[in-house]
Chains A and B, each alone.
Chain A
Amino acid sequence: MRSVSIIGVGLTKFGEHWDKGFRELIVEAASKAVVDAGIEGKEIQAIYGGVMASGRLIGQEHIGALLADQLGMNPIASTRVEAACASGGVAVRSGFLAVASGAYDVVAVGGGEKMTDVSAEDVATALGGAGDQEWELFNGATFPALYALMARRHMLEYGTTEEQLAAVAVKNHSNGALNPLAQYQREITVEDVMNSGYIASPLKLLDCSPITDGAAAVILCATEKLKQLAPNGDAVEIAASAQASDSLALASRKSMSEVASTKVAANDAYRTAGVGPKDIDVAEVHDCFTIAEVMAIEALGFFPKGTGGKATEDGETELNSTISVNTSGGLKAAGHPIGATGIKQVSEIVLQLRGKADKRQVNDAQVGLAQNVGGSGATTVIHILRRRK
């Protein structure tokens, strides 16, 4: 397969966009990515769009066609990719495979979700579709509840505490305060988290990522064609793209205190990129709930199993510490517009490797990783990016 590089990234502000619909958001993000890539746009040969629940949230399906139309890209091929909360990351991987295979030289990958046009209950029901509808959601489960069941096992098996989980939210809000596109740009304290009400015990409101509108886009180009097709872009190479699956139902998992699909995808990605966990300078991980970040940094090999909570409490995942995790603010503070999230993670790593992350810049970042999870771990997609020499 050919080497693939990311030549452009574009994001909208994440938050509640009462004045913008899905169309405005995705066009804004994609336009920014094309400008960032320094291309005209006519070089793009295909589009991959990551969207999770547009049918439920805005009543619109056939998002692939909508994207090509709204972006003025007809008649090129445009395909929607759906993998619940990993839709964005899997869309990036779809674009990567299309370019790596030689089918296309330049593709656009966009993703987004418009979540504030329906009630919070409707959002919860729509997101429930990421889990096992007939056997878990049917019985009254919610996504916070599924992660709460995992959190309680992690607490029992490893002694993880609610304060350690709170430390994840505190750290991500601290990073979000440095990101002008984050939904929440304010710091919070462990006490704030501990005093927020239970959503599904032991998870409290401030352990949970919010409901967010937003969109993100990246432009991919075959590395061997960079000089010819994108001479003006600040390209970052995709060193690995990996994906793994697990049972949809949480009940069918062997262990509930780890995300097995992340371990599988991480091993694959590390092998392909020829790096290990210690080589990663900056990581964006899927912190839909604080416990998810704890399990992610363990499954990715940054910390031994069971020690992710303590490592976070000890400050080892803060900006420019042992490993900088979720410099964007993560899903928790930057926000979680489902289809955009996996693409935003990759965009953040690109900015870090370019040295363009401003106040949240990780010193001398050479290698970065993005981990995007669908549901409670039924899909994981991981990308490792490397600064070009």
Chain B
Amino acid sequence: MNEALPLIWRRIPERYNMLGSKCLNCGTPYFPQRKMCPKCRRKGKIVAEKMPTEGTIYSFTEVHAAPKGFEQETPYFLAMVELSNGVRVLSQVVDSPADKIKIGAPVNMVFRKISEDGEEGVIAYGYKFKVK
């Protein structure tokens, strides 16, 4: 993919620390960050808000046919995780026994390598989740 460094670098606060946004006008939390609150638009006031790192599995799948960059990992589990503040994030579920990965299972965030851009390219890190 030949990713440029800034493409990875500019997302570090979100991907390493799950730093999202919150609208002070309506109180809605957002992840990833938004520059405009879709509910309040110009009336909204967006500030940084750290997301909780715990949640539950809202839905999941085991991926057997991977896109480029993930071929080595198949099969792997992906989940829609509902964080404790109600915000949902799509993420891999790792280091968890397959029979524990089910809807409603409690999970917490872990920091992992996500992908690498070839042997000499940029390595991207970020969040994954693990069943508690």
Contacts and interface: CB of A to CB of B under 8 A. Distances in A.
Interface of B: 11, 32, 58-68, 70-71, 73, 75-76, 78-80, 87-92, 103, 114-115, 124, 126, 128
Interface in A178-235: 197-203
Contacts of A135: 32, 89-90
Interface in A305-357: none
A136 B128 CA distance: 12
Q: How large is the interface on A (under 10, 10 to 19, 20 to 34, 35 or more residues)?
A: 20 to 34
B68 A199 contact: no
A122 B66 CA distance: 11
A139 B32 CA distance: 13
Contacts of B64: 197-201
Interface string A238-255: 000000000001111000
Contacts of B124: 138
A121 B67 CA distance: 6
A200 B62 contact: yes
A256 interface: yes
9 contacts: A136-B90, A138-B126, A142-B65, A145-B63, A148-B61, A149-B61, A201-B61, A250-B90, A256-B58
B62 A198 contact: yes
Contacts of A136: 90
Contacts of A198: 62, 64, 75
Contacts of B92: 139-140
Nearest to A152: B59
Interface in A149-165: 149-150, 152-153, 156
A195 B4 CA distance: 43
B78 A153 contact: no
Nearest to B15: A138
Interface string A127-148: 0100000111111111011001
A31 interface: no
Contacts of B32: 134-135
B65 A252 contact: no
Contacts, number: 98
B63 A200 contact: yes
A141 B128 CA distance: 13
A35 interface: no
**By CB atoms of chain B within 10 A, which of A125, A200, A202 has the most?**
A200
A127 B40 CA distance: 32
B61 A140 contact: no
A124 interface: yes
Nearest to A205: B65
A121 B73 contact: no
Nearest to A201: B62
Nearest to A142: B67
Contacts of A201: 61-62, 64
A149 B91 contact: no
Contact of B70 (A140, A148, A202, A250): A140
Contacts of B61: 145, 148-149, 152, 200-203
A140 B65 contact: no
Contacts of B103: 152, 156
Given A121-B67, A128-B67, A152-B103, A141 B90 contact: yes
Contacts of A140: 63, 66-67, 70, 73, 76, 78, 92, 114-115
A278 B61 CA distance: 35
Contacts of B66: 121, 124, 140, 142
Contacts of A139: 78, 90-92, 114, 126, 128
Contacts of B78: 139-141, 145, 149, 200
Contacts of B67: 121, 124-125, 128, 137, 140, 142
Contacts of A142: 63, 65-67
Contact of A149 (B68, B75, B76, B80): B80
Top 7 A-B pairs, shortest CB-CB distance: A148-B61, A251-B88, A149-B59, A201-B62, A200-B61, A136-B90, A152-B59
A306 to B, nearest CB: 16
Q: Which of A125, A197, A251 counts the most chain B CB atoms within 10 A? A: A251
A121 B89 contact: no
Most interface-central of B11, B65, B91 (chain A CB within 10 A): B65
A153 B59 contact: yes
Given A134-B11, A139-B126, A124 B60 contact: no
Nearest to A135: B32
Contacts of A149: 59-61, 78-80, 90
A199 B65 contact: yes
Contacts of B60: 149, 152
Contacts of A137: 67
